Structures are given as C-alpha cells and as structure tokens.
Amino acid sequence: MSRPEQIAPPEIFYNDIESRKYTASSRVQHIQAKMTLRALDLLNLEEDKSHFLLDVGCGSGLSGEILTEEGHVWIGMDISADMLATAIDRDIDGDMFLADMGCGVPFRAGTFDAAISISAIQWLCNADTNTNEPKFRLARFFNTLYSSLRKGGKFVGQFYPANEDQTVQITSAAKVAGFQCGVVIDDPESRKNRKHYLVLQAGSSARPLNVDGMEVEKMNGKQVAAQKLTKVSKKRLKAMETKKEYIKRKKILNEKRGKEVRKDSKFTGRARKARF
C-alpha cells in the first residue's frame, strides 16, 4: 500500500471522492476514534471539564466529533476544502477553517488549553511542491503551535512516520520550538497496528501529560513503548473497544441526537438552520 503523502499534495489527495470514501468507512471511523481517545488519554486534561482545543488537520471531523462527545469545544484547521465540506455535511460541532499548518497556527498567544492532531503531521515532512521546504514548515508549525497554547499547554499528535528519519525531523523541530517532547509508541511489536504519538508540553504543567507515569521532560525527545497498564483510564478503555462495539455506540448516539446526514456538494446550501 503506498502512502497518501507520496501520491499527491493533501488538498489534492483529499478531493471530494476521497474525502467521502475516507469518512464513510466504518473501519476508518473506528480507528480515528480510537486514536483520538488515546490522544485524550495522553493529554490528561481535567476530567468533567470542557476545554478549548485545537484539532490540526481536522479533516471531516472524525477526530473532532470525539472531542465534542467528550464535552470539549474545539477549532479545527485543514488544508482540504473537500474534507471540510464533508464535515459540514455531517453537522460537526467544531468551528473549522481552511489553513495550511505548514504556514503556522494563526492564533494569538495562549488561546488553547491543548491541541491534538490525528494522522496529519507526517504531511509536513513532504516536499510535494517546489515551495514546500519541510524544515521551514515544521519550524513554523511548532513555533506557532507553541505560542497558541496556554502556559503548560499540551499537544498530542498521532502520526505515521515514513521512516525513523521523519520522526527525528519532527521531534527536533518540536524541541527547537521549546517543547518538552517525546514519542509514545502503542503496539510497538505489531507492524500493522503500531501507532506513534508525538507528545509535547509547553513548559511545566500542574497536570502534566499522562505518558504512562513517565515525565515528558525525562523523555527528552526519545521514543518509548507504551507501558502495559495496571490501571486503565476510562478513555483508554474506550479506545480499546472493538469496531462492533464502536458502531453500536455510534448508532445509539446518533439516534439520540436525531442526526440526519445531508448530501449536497461543496459548501453551498450547507448553511444550517437559522433560529429566526
């Protein structure tokens, strides 16, 4: 299977057809949901409190809708208009806009409690156009991400590194930007299921990242295999549910919300019902 990053730039790869195909797949939905819950588990935000979050490369909202379910308010950014169009069709609650993370995260200092990114930041390593210089884009991304977070703010980003070199590129850029930084690898022994999570913290936090009891400061940019846990958090547990359980839970949730999925094209006609 070739990697999307090698086929075309993201805004072209995630065109209308691919965006719909991606989003409609229950296999994809389940995996993205699992990884988002795992990211939240690592973020270790105060329980039962709504936080203001950023979802980088939010796509059609598969990661963001988990943030909503967990009670958070979020802003998403993505480079693909078709992915965002698919998100609007699905009546996603976050506020989403078009932007290229390689040009920076355009928010004033101290905006977000935390940020996540699910299956997106590996795109920064690709020089897919002649104006794309991964080194500069990575630096710009992490510098602006750092300042957009509140003091002690945290970021967890699941990503698919093409090779060891990319992981080093990413962690070095994050460190230079001032983050305490590490990479957690879930399922390290399985080539197929192995997942990389970049974990970053902007200075010390009263509620540090939950890297299975390890301090991110001590990780110092290193990669660690996830620990086999004795005490499993609620989110981690949810992240371990099977696809069947997931689909069932989703179904009930959607019915409860009385959601209907619309099918018009691009952004037009997608304005949601006005109150008056």
Partner 1 sequence: MKFITSNFVRCAVKSCDGTEGSFPLNFQDCKLQLEEQEFNEEFIISMLERLDWSALVKVASQLGNNAIPPQKPSLDDINEVLLKDLHSLLLETQIIEGKMICDNCQHVYYIKDGIASFLLPPHLAK
Ligand X SMILES: C[S@@+](CC[C@H](N)C(=O)[O-])C[C@H]1O[C@@H](n2cnc3c(N)ncnc32)[C@H](O)[C@@H]1O
* Near partner 1 by CB under 8 A: residue from 1, 2, 17, 131: 131
**C-alpha 7 chain-centroid distance:** 21
Smallest Cα–Cα separation from 198: which of 171, 229, 173? Answer: 171
Report how far residue 157's alpha carbon sits from residue 63's, in angstroms, rounded to the nearest whole number.
Answer: 11
272 binds partner 1 (CB under 8 A): yes
* Near partner 1 by CB under 8 A: residue from 20, 175, 249, 270: 270
Report how far residue 50's alpha carbon sits from residue 68's, in angstroms, rounded to the nearest whole number.
Answer: 9
CA Rg value for the chain: 18
Report how far residue 216's alpha carbon sits from residue 214's, in angstroms, rounded to the nearest whole number.
Answer: 6
What does the block give as tokens for 235? 């989110």
Stretches 23-31, 37-45, 73-81, 231-239: which one binds partner 1 (CB under 8 A)? 73-81
135 binds partner 1 (CB under 8 A): no
Burial of 184 (0-12, 13-18, 19+ CB in 10 A): buried
Phi, psi of 211 (to 5 degrees): -90, 65
Q: Rounded to the nearest whole angstrom, what is the least distance from the CB of residue 99 to ligand X in the complex?
A: 6
What does the block give as tokens for 24? 């409609």
Q: Which residues pair with 112 in a beta bridge?
A: 149
Smallest Cα–Cα separation from 78: which of 64, 65, 93? Answer: 64
Selection from ligand X, partner 1, none that 80 binds (CB < 5 to 8 A by kind) is ligand X
Please report, as residue ranges, which positions from 219 to 258 form the binding site for partner 1 (by CB under 8 A).
none
HSE at residue 25, side-chain half, CA atoms within 13 A, is: 10
136 binds partner 1 (CB under 8 A): yes
Is the CB of 50 or the CB of 205 nearer to partner 1? 50
Selection from partner 1, ligand X, none that 89 binds (CB < 5 to 8 A by kind) is none
* Contact string 79-118 vs ligand X (x = CB under 6 A): xx--x----------------xxx---------------x
Using CB under 8 A, list all residues that contact partner 1.
Answer: 49-50, 52, 71, 73, 75, 77, 79, 81, 84, 88, 93, 95-100, 103-104, 106-108, 110-111, 131, 136, 140, 144, 266-268, 270-276
Using CB under 6 A, list all residues that contact ligand X.
Answer: 10, 14, 32, 57-59, 62-63, 77-80, 83, 100-102, 118-120, 123
